């Protein structure tokens, strides 16, 4: 799309663009370029000079069992976060959509946790399940279940998944409810007159018509789970126990800043960059299709 009516000159637009060009160049393109450049070097043991290794860092990473494990961890983690947060949100949205009055009130009550930072959500959940003082952990103990996410890998994963999904429910709920309310009432009424029960209506009408929303949320939630959950992981488990919750972004951080392995961390950044690129393409392809639809 283009404007037919425009202004003349190039000095003014250049000036208007300058702030963004300068900031993006210094704080985006230069570091991104640096990441690609650094990913092809390894520092010597004394950190005095670096040696060019080409794709050596990538080769090493792909053969590294810890890195591969982190890939699997990320896949499990983001899959679970996406399914849990979208599942609960869809369930609540369907309920709210059934109400004639009051869905607005529930919306207000349900959307504000969006404003709670992932890191704060992490602290809240860590407090509930704290092995020493956590209320939930204590009641689980009463029931004979010995909760200890500091030692148990599955419990640690479960806790970071729930803490990450919790705040995300608001966001998904909002989009699902909007999607449900956009479905023409008459179509559902018609099916109901023909005797279709709730589940039949949901399976054959609502779910297909909701699929653009669902697909959009799927991509957005995977991106969320990949990057924005760093705060949750860092506050609750710090990647442990035994790296059971070390997702890719966490590994970039821990290898780069804690382990000081810059070459490897940069190579990991580049791999993440490619993953994000793929997700972006998928998202934009999809949005274009929705525009035509």
Partner 1 sequence: MSDQRGMVQRRGLGHWFTHLGLIIGVLFIFFPIWLAFVASTVTQPEIVRPPMPLLPGGHFIENYSKALFSGVNAPVASMMLNSLIMALGITIGKIVISLTSAFAIVYFRFPGRTVFFWLIFLTLMLPVEVRIVPTYEVIANFGMLNSYSGLIFPLIASATATFLFRQFFLTVPDELTEAARVDGASPMQFFWHILLPMSRTNIAALFVILFIYGWNQYLWPLLITTDPSMNTIVMGIKQMFPSGDDLADWPVIMATSILAMVPPVIVVISMQKLFIRGLVDSEK
Site for partner 1 in 239-268 (CB under 8 A): 249, 252-253, 256-257, 262, 265-266
Q: Which is nearer to partner 1, 233 or 244 (CB)?
A: 233
Interaction residues for partner 1, span 58-97 (CB under 8 A): 88, 91-92, 95-96
Q: By CB under 8 A, name the one of 171, 172, 244, 245 that touches partner 1.
A: 171
Q: What is the DSSP letter of 114?
A: G
If one asks whether residue 143 binds partner 1 (CB under 8 A), the answer comes out as: no
Q: Which residue has the tokens 């949320």?
A: 217
Q: By CB under 8 A, name the one of 188, 214, 243, 286 that touches partner 1.
A: 188
d(CA 49, CA 63): 25
Q: Which is nearer to partner 1, 151 or 178 (CB)?
A: 178
Interaction residues for partner 1, span 118-137 (CB under 8 A): 118-121, 123-125, 127-128, 132-135
Q: 168, 81 in Cβ contact below 8 A?
A: yes
d(CA 210, CA 142): 43
Q: How many CA atoms lie within 13 A of 154 on its CB side?
A: 1
If one asks whether residue 182 binds partner 1 (CB under 8 A), the answer comes out as: no
d(CA 102, CA 163): 28
Q: By CB under 8 A, name the one of 66, 208, 280, 285 that touches partner 1.
A: 280
What is the DSSP secondary-structure string of 137-184? HHHHHHTT----TTT-HHHHHHHHHHHHHHHHHHHHHHHHHHHHHTS-
Interaction residues for partner 1, span 189-218 (CB under 8 A): 189, 192-193, 198, 201, 216
Q: Which is nearer to partner 1, 32 or 151 (CB)?
A: 32
Cβ atoms within 10 Å of 288's Cβ, excluding its own: 10
Report the phi/psi class of residue 260: left, alpha or beta, with left for phi > 0 and alpha for psi in -120 to 50. Answer: left
CB 47, min distance to partner 1, A: 14
Q: By CB under 8 A, name the one of 158, 212, 231, 240 that touches partner 1.
A: 231
Q: 196, 119 in Cβ contact below 8 A?
A: no
If one asks whether residue 225 binds partner 1 (CB under 8 A), the answer comes out as: no
Q: By CB under 8 A, name the one of 40, 80, 90, 110 that touches partner 1.
A: 110
CB 161, min distance to partner 1, A: 15
Q: Which is nearer to partner 1, 53 or 196 (CB)?
A: 196
Quick check: bond before 32 cis, omega within 30? Answer: no
* Contact pattern from residue 17 through residue 46 relative to partner 1, giving x for each residue in contact according to CB under 8 A and a dash for the rest: x-xxx-xx-xxxxxxx-xx--x--------
Question: For residue 51, what are the β-bridge partners?
Answer: 42
Q: 186, 102 in Cβ contact below 8 A?
A: no
Q: Which is nearer to partner 1, 89 or 157 (CB)?
A: 89
């Amino acid at each position: 799309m283009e404007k037919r009516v425009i202004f003349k000159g190039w000095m003014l637009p250049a000036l208007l663009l300058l702030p963004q060009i300068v900031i993006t160049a210094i704080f985006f393109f230069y570091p991104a370029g640096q990441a690609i450049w650094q990913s092809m070097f390894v520092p010597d043991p004394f950190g005095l000079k670096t040696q060019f290794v080409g794709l050596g860092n990538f080769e090493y990473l792909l053969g590294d069992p810890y890195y591969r494990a982190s890939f699997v961890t990320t896949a499990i983690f983001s899959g679970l976060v996406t399914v849990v947060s979208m599942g609960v949100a869809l369930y609540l949205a369907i309920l709210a959509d059934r109400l004639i009055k009051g869905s607005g009130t529930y919306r207000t009550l349900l959307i504000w946790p969006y404003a709670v930072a992932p890191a704060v959500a992490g602290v809240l959940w860590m407090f509930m399940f704290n092995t020493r003082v956590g209320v939930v952990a204590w009641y689980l103990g009463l029931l004979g279940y010995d909760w200890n996410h500091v030692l148990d890998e599955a419990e640690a994963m479960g806790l970071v998944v729930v803490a990450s999904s919790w705040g995300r429910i608001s966001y998904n709920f909002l989009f699902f409810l909007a999607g449900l309310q956009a479905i023409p009432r008459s179509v559902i009424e018609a099916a109901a007159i023909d005797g279709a029960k709730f589940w039949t209506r949901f399976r054959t009408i609502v779910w297909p018509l909701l699929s653009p929303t669902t697909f959009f949320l799927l991509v957005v939630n995977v991106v969320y789970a990949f990057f924005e959950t760093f705060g949750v992981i860092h506050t609750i488990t710090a990647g442990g126990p035994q790296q059971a919750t070390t997702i890719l972004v966490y590994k970039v951080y821990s290898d780069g800043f804690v382990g000081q392995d810059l070459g490897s961390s940069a190579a990991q950044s580049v791999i993440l960059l490619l993953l994000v690129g793929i997700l972006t393409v998928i998202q934009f392809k999809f949005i274009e299709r929705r525009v035509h639809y």
